[in-house]
Copies of this chain bind each other. A is one copy, B any other.
Amino acid sequence: MADAAVTTESRTVEVRKPVLGKNAQLAAQNREFFQSRRLTVLNMVSSPGSGKTAILQRTIKDLTGRVRIGVVVGDLQTDNDARRLRESGAPAVQITTGTTCHLDAEMVAKAMSGLSLDQLDLLVIENVGNLVCPASYDLGEGFRVAVLSVTEGEDKPLKYPVIFKTAHVVLVNKSDIAEVVGFNRELALDNLHRITPDARIFEVSAKTGAGMEHWYAYLEKRIAQQRAI
| Interface of chain A: mostly helix, strand, loop or mixed | loop
Segment at the interface with B among A85-93, A96-104, A114-122, A220-228: A96-104
Interface digits, A145-170 against B, CB 8 Å rule (1 contact, 0 not)?
A: 00001011101101111100000000
A70: CB under 8 A from chain B? no
Q: Judging by beta carbons under 8 Å apart, are B136 and A99 in contact?
A: yes
Alpha-carbon distance between A133 and B6 when the two chains are bound, in angstroms? 17
Among residues of B, the one whose C-beta sits closest to the C-beta of A6 is B18
Alpha-carbon distance between A62 and B153 when the two chains are bound, in angstroms? 23
Segment at the interface with B among A26-34, A35-43, A124-132: A124-132
Distance in Å from the Cβ of A182 to the closest Cβ of chain B? 8
Q: Judging by beta carbons under 8 Å apart, are B159 and A78 in contact?
A: yes
Q: Give which listed residue, B133, B151, B159, B162, contacts A80 with CB less than 8 A.
A: B159
Alpha-carbon distance between A198 and B87 when the two chains are bound, in angstroms? 34
Q: Give which listed residue, B1, B49, B132, contacts A152 with CB less than 8 A.
A: B49
Binding site for B on A (CB under 8 A): 1-4, 6-8, 13, 15-16, 18-19, 22, 47-49, 75-78, 80, 98-102, 128-133, 135-136, 149, 151-153, 155-156, 158-162, 174, 177, 180-181
18 new A-B contacts, CB < 8 A, other than A48-B131, A100-B132, are A1-B101, A3-B98, A3-B100, A6-B19, A13-B15, A48-B160, A49-B151, A77-B158, A80-B158, A99-B132, A99-B135, A101-B132, A128-B132, A132-B133, A149-B151, A151-B151, A151-B174, A177-B181
The 3 closest A-B pairs by CB, nearest first: A49-B152, A101-B132, A151-B151
